[in-house]
């Protein structure tokens, strides 16, 4: 079998933004499940949940169909609903804001620390809290742990729940504890471009037994027994005790997840090496900067994203097209949520740092099996693109 055939869009890039590794182990894991004849949620999902909980140092892990489903269920289980407000960073993927709104609560957007730290700003979180605030959904931007100590402290003083959007942060830690394990619940995504890719999938981790039981109910229609238990003859009937969803993960993806989980530490270390090389080649060069300090004893990153901050406004678009012409795919993480039509329509808070930073950030290719010459191609490409784009800006 040929393993290096890319039939998707990746073939047209010399350096794609992200990429998955296809090998025999992952193909065998999937084909074993297919051969078993049990494809929907069952023993492989349970095994994946147990392994994930152990890796996170949490009592429970509940596998779901996506990171968005994880956030949705965590919000519902935390009791968020109509009349509530939930604070969430605007420099973020839109999923958390959408599911906050779906729960009936209102997302209240908060600002970013600054160009050296793209995580949410604790002072602005504090400023965003009002009498209706019920929870904070924190993000570990790019896999770099946010100031979770400050967030937990704010939450304790204001009697709020903390939900961690750890979509970027599997394997990241803060003071030796895994990201995702600090709040009431931690939510992970296994989308193809994330650090633990299976296609589509997610996980919620928590130490709370009751919350875990509630999440399992909501994941599967609010039904008291599962198809797998009935299949094994453990149960003949069921009751429905909540208005649930079908947010289950299937066995094929759980089998891929088990393989990817075993590789996570090595893969994250490979990402870290590439980011270190980017830092060496780009940080401080011609006004470019790379946010976040290198790992220290306080925080260890999962290095989900490689982001540079550009020295001027107006460089993003020309640099992106220059790099595209050279086969280098880039992105912007993220266009701020409070500027999207759906959310700009509501009266909101001023978020000057997010507005400013979103015009300056550029995300570079990053995936564990990037070859050295690809990394060097990106570094040279970015420095050349910056020069070209600046020439274009001159009057």
Ligand X SMILES: *Cc1c(COP(=O)(O)O)cnc(C)c1O
- Interface ranges with ligand X (CB under 6 A): 66-68, 92-93, 95-96, 139, 165, 167-168, 189, 191, 202
Closer of 247 and 322 to ligand X (Cβ): 247
Residue nearest to ligand X (CB): 67
Name the minimum Å distance from CB 163 to ligand X. 11
SS (H, E, C) 324-360: HHCCECCECCCCCHHHCHHHHCCCCCCCHHHHHHCCC
Which of 303, 272, 58, 50 has the alpha carbon at shortest distance from 172? 303
In the complex with ligand X, the residue whose CB is nearer, 361 or 386, is: 361
* SS3 (DSSP) at 253: helix
165 neighbors 96 (Cβ within 8 angstroms): yes
Q: Smallest gap, in angstroms, from Cβ of residue 384 to ligand X?
A: 29
DSSP states of 67-91: HHHHHHHHHHHTT--TT-EEEEESS
CB of 229 to ligand X, least distance (A): 27
Contact 52, 61 (CB under 8 A): yes
* Cα distances (Å, whole numbers) of residue 380 to 73, 142, 282, 336: 44, 23, 9, 29
Q: What share of the chain is helix, strand, coil (3-state, %, to 5)?
A: 40, 15, 40
Please identify, using beta-carbon distances, which residue of 249 and 255 lies nearer to ligand X: 249
Q: How far is the CB of 305 from ligand X (least distance, A)?
A: 9
Residue nearer to ligand X on the CB measure, 167 or 353? 167
Backbone phi and psi for residue 167, each to the nearest 5 degrees, phi listed first: -55, -30
Q: How near is the Cβ of 375 to ligand X at its closest, in Å?
A: 23
Decide if 12 is catalytic: no
Q: Residue 195 Cβ, how far from ligand X at the closest point, in Å? A: 10
- Residue 144's contacts (CB-CB under 8 Å, 6 or more residues apart) are 117, 118, 119, 169, 172, 292, 299, 301
Cβ proximity to ligand X: between 67 and 291 the closer is 67
At 206, which helix (H) or strand (E)? strand 202-206
* Tokens coding 182: 């600090």
Residues marked as catalytic:
194
């Amino acid at each position: 079998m040929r393993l290096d055939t890319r039939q998707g869009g990746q073939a047209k890039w010399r350096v794609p933004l992200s990429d998955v590794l296809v090998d025999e182990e992952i193909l065998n894991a999937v084909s074993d499940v297919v051969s078993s004849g049990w494809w929907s949620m069952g023993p492989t999902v349970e095994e994946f949940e147990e392994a994930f909980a152990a890796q996170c140092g949490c009592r429970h892990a509940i596998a779901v169909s996506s990171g968005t489903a994880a956030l949705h269920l965590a919000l519902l289980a935390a009791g968020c609903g109509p009349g509530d407000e939930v604070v969430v960073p605007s420099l973020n993927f839109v999923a958390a804001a959408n599911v906050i709104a779906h729960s009936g609560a209102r997302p209240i957007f908060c600002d970013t620390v600054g160009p050296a730290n793209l995580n949410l700003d604790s002072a602005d979180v504090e400023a965003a809290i009002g009498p209706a605030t019920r929870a904070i959904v924190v993000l570990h931007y790019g896999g770099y742990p946010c100031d979770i100590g400050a967030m937990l402290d704010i939450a304790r003083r204001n009697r709020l729940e903390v939900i961690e959007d750890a979509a970027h942060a599997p394997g990241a830690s803060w003071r030796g504890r895994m990201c995702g394990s600090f709040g009431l619940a931690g939510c992970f995504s296994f989308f193809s471009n994330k650090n633990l890719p299976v296609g589509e999938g997610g996980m919620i981790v928590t130490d709370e037994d009751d919350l875990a039981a509630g999440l399992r109910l909501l994941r599967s229609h609010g039904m008291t027994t599962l198809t797998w238990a009935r299949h094994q003859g453990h149960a003949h009937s069921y009751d429905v005790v909540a208005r649930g969803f079908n947010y289950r993960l299937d066995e094929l993806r759980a089998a891929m997840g088990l393989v990817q989980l075993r590789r996570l530490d090595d893969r994250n270390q490979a990402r870290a090496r590439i980011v270190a090389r980017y830092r060496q080649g780009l940080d401080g060069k011609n006004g470019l900067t790379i946010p976040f300090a290198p790992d220290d004893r306080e925080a260890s990153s999962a290095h989900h994203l490689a982001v540079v901050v550009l020295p001027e406004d107006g460089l993003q678009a020309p640099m992106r097209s220059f790099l595209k012409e050279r086969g280098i795919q880039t992105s912007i993480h993220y266009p701020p949520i409070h500027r999207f039509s759906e959310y700009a329509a509501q009266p909101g808070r001023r978020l000057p740092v997010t507005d400013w930073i979103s015009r300056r950030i550029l995300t570079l290719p990053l995936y564990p099996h990037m070859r050295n010459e690809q990394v060097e191609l990106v570094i040279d490409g970015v420095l050349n693109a910056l020069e070209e784009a600046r020439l274009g800006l001159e009057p």
